[in-house]
Structure 1
């Protein structure tokens, strides 16, 4: 077997602390210990070449080969480093180095742990103090030390093999989002950065639970990949859509949303101890913001190109609707009304023009409306207005046309579940709960608007600053196109 076949090599290469690999039995003297077969970048910065270092690493190598299951034999301590060696069935010795905690910091760590301990001491207090100090350097490491592992299939930490502890140490110190799923039950142990993947809702209960319990909403879609990883296969996906339930409160304008649209670059890599797969490592980086931004930019670009070719107002309206139809995720439904000022200049007649996702005759899209806008309805200076329950019109005229026509700003309309019952479920198979309204002017805002557009919002994304920015650009794009 070549060195390139050593499991986890790609992960060890990125470990922030020194790692090196030697073939078992090929270190005949202490000087050979300075010539490993493979090293990571952190090892290359290691300034340790003295006689003491040579002897320590030489002795550690041979003790690990002779007594690979003896934790004491596979551990060495120099003046600056703690070394842990692991003999792989493939015939390689992997050594990981962790800088020693100085006496003052070590004392502080033990003080923190003492505060975290429950009144009755747990078996984990019997762990190697160096391991406690190492894991205590991160928030998740401290949680791992305090977790009641004896209530899980993994059992107490004191029963874990040195190889398992090494995998956990690597996970906790990993510079990016990493989760280790151990055993056939796929029990989760993860680092601080992985909390961003889980969200606070999941993080509250994820540690020590099985994959299917941590991610019930995606288990059916991903369980096949989990089984393949446990069988020794590497899985990799880029910009993979994952609908996650990870936030506890409303992310839209009104009621709490259900699943959240997210995209991830992720991998499952088998975690091996010798020739046995003991679990898998999930590295994940989120690509949600980029993927969604690219989709929205495509919509804006297509709108700019298509509307620039429109030779009449009617064609402009139809072209705009055609472009929005291609982005069903961000626009689950759209309703367009042409606006016609009446002679008294205080009333507008709104005539239904076209729609997406709205069945003919649905109450959400009356065929005609007359809206009175008086001087009492003054314009506001804000760029976005919110419709409250007090300003909503009766269900027969469900939309706040007065506010929209008066302010000529984007109006938020939350909690529209009753209004949208019976609409087509474009994009996601979920009912739309929030919408926005805006006017389109052929001239200045002092002139009567030419169009009112009502658009449903993505039920699987928060109406955050990015979404608002996209809507603002969309409104400007449509308005500028109509004035040309």
Structure 2
């Protein structure tokens, strides 16, 4: 074995067995001292080094570089352009710069697609290109290339950025649906790692059916509208049901074809997907499933699996928080609704009435429109209660509430104040005639009500009407005036309405609560 190749490991032994006279480098005995020295340094190094000799950049490299070039090996003594034609446009100008004596150069995190494990793999390298001279200060006769693979660092940084963006985009989501939508938008920006993704939840009525709620990277995004009953994977993709039921991650081949879905054009190829349950832990069933396409250009190693699992964990955590917040808001809204609602009739209560009245008066002052308050009291209601019982009285109050809703104008507000007292708020008034028409309808309809059949007892309604104006400018004054007018109507014979005027003896204002 030639001493040049003696310490060269597997590549050195291969080089020793080659017929170099069949290459452009010629027989080893004719190699100049500079080439012999460069090759010896290259072969004896434990770093990935390559000698690119002459204007054709003939290749000689060591064992450490073999794992970098994958199935391009062996390409010893072959011009660089023939081995890597896909890199010529980017690579050759830098090599020519060095060969022309314009100094060393380098390139960081260069993307290469290499066939090292039976598929074109997304790989990243940092290259350093330095001159090889015949002797110090003489002409440059070759380029010494040092290569460091940075694939794991680049992918790790990219995936960390994805997880950071995912956390930033989803935090504060108000609902699970908002979380899912924001999550797939972020994952869609990292198609190199996740060519497509789909989040599906179990159908409420049929847990073994899946309802798609958000997706990215799919040509026609599936939706609940497209699949009103949900996706039914039981026959086509039973692995999905298994993942949902067993709460275990599954890798599934040809999932899109089996679900009749398609990727968007231009996304990295993906022949399989990982299905990860969005699991809260414990005995609770998963919130749904994350279907993440696996790039065919990346090895499915532990780093890849960990990244996808962390993405699913983040989505689950934010979804759980959003669901809890949504439940709290629903409880708070229900509590407020109950606090502002009369439980017997379903009408707004006194508190809700005054809230609405304050706002209406404020709006009317801006619009220069009037607000009217109709204070309604049922005449004879006590007699109904005493004669027929409180259940009949309650039924009567509910019927009056339904009647009032039907006879008022669409924008008017009906409320129950207390006992047998009701109120109607009318806004956007230009005259009192519209309010009087409402009062007439109420009086006639209430008078037509019968308790215990056609021959039963009847009730009537006395109504006091007050309108905002120069002398009445706030809610308390308006209600007090309407209350005063209502008692004037009762004294005048009941079953009628009266407008408030200053001649009436003012009743003391009732408390709001």
> What TM-score does the superposition give when structure 1 sets the normalisation length?
0.59
Question: Deviation of residue 361 (structure 1)?
Answer: 6.4
Q: Matched residues in 1 for 2:59 and 2:99: separation?
A: 14
Distance 1:219 1:454, change over 3 A: same
The equivalent of 1:481 in structure 2 is: 318
1:135 maps to 6
> Are the counterparts in 1 of residues 180 and 315 from structure 2 also a CA contact under 8 Å?
no
Maintained 8 Å contact 2:94/2:105: yes
Q: Please, which runs of 5 or more residues in structure 1 have no aligned partner?
A: 1-112, 114-126, 250-256, 373-390
Following the alignment from structure 2 to structure 1, what is the Cα–Cα distance between the partners of residues 316 and 222? 27
Larger helix share, 1 or 2: 2
- Note the 1:410-429 alignment, pairs <5 A: 410-415=249-254, 418=257, 422-425=262-265
Quote the residue 2:240 is aligned against: 401
Cα distance in 2 for partners of 1:469, 1:322 equals: 20
The structural deviation recorded for 1:399 is 7.1
Task: Confirm whether residue 432 of structure 1 aligns to residue 288 of structure 2.
Answer: no
Q: Does the alignment pair 1:264 with 2:125? A: yes
Contact between 2:124 and 2:151, CA under 8 Å: does it hold in 1?
yes
Match of 1:310 in 2: 173
Cα distance in structure 2, aligned partners of 1:212 and 1:418: 39
In structure 2, stretches of 5+ residues that fail to align are 322-513
Q: CA deviation at 1:181?
A: 1.1
Residue 341 of structure 1 aligns to a residue whose secondary structure is: coil
In structure 1, distance between residues paired with 2:69 and 2:173: 46
Describe how 1:69-80 pairs up with structure 2 within 5 A.
none
Deviation at 1:242, TM superposition (A): 1.9
Residue 246 in structure 1 maps to residue 116 in structure 2: yes
- Per-residue CA deviations over 1:370-402 (Å, capped at 9, x if unaligned) read 578xxxxxxxxxxxxxxxxxx9843xxx57322
Q: How many Å separate the matches in 2 of 1:147 and 1:283?
A: 24
Question: Which residue number in structure 1 is paired with residue 219 of structure 2?
Answer: 359
How far 1:415 sits from its partner (Å)? 4.3
Matched position secondary structure for 2:208: strand
Structure number, greater radius of gyration: 2
**Could you say if the C-alpha distance between residues 137 and 357 of structure 1 is closer, same or farther in structure 2, counting changes exceeding 3 Å?**
closer
Q: Which residue of structure 2 lines up, in the alignment, with residue 460 of structure 1?
A: 297
Q: Which has the higher contact order (CA 8 A, sep 6+)?
A: 1
Matched, 1:236 2:106: yes
Q: Distance in 2 between matches of 1:142 and 1:217?
A: 29
C-alpha distance in 1, partners of 2:229/2:72?
47
Contact 1:439 1:449 in 2 (8 A): yes
Residue equivalent to 1:173: 44
Work out whether residues 331 and 458 of structure 1, in 8 Å CA contact, stay in contact via their aligned partners in 2.
Answer: yes
**Is the 1:340–1:450 Cα contact (8 Å) retained in structure 2?**
no
Decide whether the 8 Å contact of 2:197 with 2:215 is kept in 1.
yes
1:449 is the counterpart of 2:311: no
CA gap of 1:362–1:276, structure 2 versus 1, over 3 A, is: farther
- Paired with 2:65 and 2:12, the residues of 1 have a C-alpha distance of 13
Question: When the two structures are aligned, how many residues end up with a matched partner?
Answer: 316
Alpha-carbon distance change, 149 to 392 in structure 1, aligned in 2, over 3 angstroms: farther
Measured in 1, the distance between the counterparts of 2:256 and 2:43 equals 43
Alignment partner, residue 326 of structure 1: 189
**In 1, Cα distance between the equivalents of 2:196 and 2:298?**
15
Give SS of 1:206's match: coil
Q: 2:197 and 2:212 mapped to 1: Cα distance?
A: 11
